[in-house]
Structure 1
C-alpha cells in the first residue's frame, strides 16, 4: 500500500492531539483501539478503504497482540500512577508509547498485505465493531487533514 507510510502516523498523532479526550473516552468506555480509529479516519480522508471484514481481521490480530503485552502493561502503569514518583511514572508512559508504536508497525505490516478499495466508509465499518455509529466521532470533523 503506497500511501501507508510514516506520514500516516504523524498525521494521526496530530489528529489525536486535537481529539485526545474523545479518543480516550472511546477507548475507556467502549474498548476502541485508538490507533485503528485514527487509521480509519486517515483512510477515509484518502478515499481508500477496508471492508468490514478486513476491519474485523485487523482488530482481532491487534487485540491478540495487545492482550498479551500492551494491556497488561497499561493496567500496571495505571495502578502505579498514584504510587510512583512522577519521573518513574513518566518513564512508564514512555514505555507504553513505545509499545503503541510497535502496534502501529504490526498494523502497517498487515495493511501491506491487504487489498485497499476506493471508498471511505472506514470509520463506519470500524465503529460498527463496537456497536457505535459515526456520530460517536462527530467531533473529528473534516477529514481533509488526513490528505495533507
Structure 2
C-alpha cells in the first residue's frame, strides 16, 4: 500500500527545487499537465513501480475530476479575490488563508491519487521504471529528471 504521507513528503522535497518548479509549471501552463500527477508518476518510478497505459488513464481521470470539480473553481475564486479585492484592508491575511486552503486541496488531490493507485494491480521491482515518459513528451520528462539532480 502506498502512503499519502510518504508521497506528500516526497512531493514537497522534490518541489523545493526552483528548477523543478519551473519545469512543472511549464508542464501545467503550456502543456495542460497536472503537477501532482507528474510528481506522483515520478514518485512511483522511484519506488520501482512501472505503470501501464490503462493505469495511467485511471490516474489521469482521477486528477481531471478533482481539477474540474475542486481545484479549478477554487483557483478561479482565489484569482478573483486577488484581482478585485486586493485593496481590502485584511487582504494579506485573506490571501494567506486562501493559499493555505489551496495547499490542502492539493493534498486532497494527492490522497485521491494514492487511493486510486492502491486499487490498481501495480508492477513492483521494475528497475528502470519511468512513468513520466507515459505522460509527458520525452524532452519535458528529461528536463524534469535533470532538474531533480
Name the TM-score, length of structure 2 as normaliser.
0.82
User: Which of the residues 87, 91, 101 maps onto 1:95?
Assistant: 101
CA contact (8 A) 1:45 1:144 kept: no
Q: Does 1:140 pair with 2:144?
A: yes
Larger Rg: 2
Q: Does 1:50 pair with 2:51?
A: yes
CA contact (8 A) 2:58 2:116 kept: no
1:73 CA drift (Å):
0.5
Q: CA RMSD of the aligned region, Å?
A: 2.2
Give the whole-Å Cα distance in 1 for the aligned partners of 2:81 and 2:141. 30
Name the TM-score, length of structure 1 as normaliser.
0.82
Give the whole-Å Cα distance in 1 for the aligned partners of 2:107 and 2:26. 20
Moved over 4 A (4+): 142-145
Counterpart mapping for 1:25-40 below 5 A: 25-40=26-41
Question: Which consecutive residues of structure 1, in runs of 5 or more, have no partner in the other structure?
Answer: 128-132
1:78 CA drift (Å):
2.0
Give the whole-Å Cα distance in 2 for the aligned partners of 1:144 and 1:117. 24
Question: Which consecutive residues of structure 2, in runs of 5 or more, have no partner in the other structure?
Answer: none
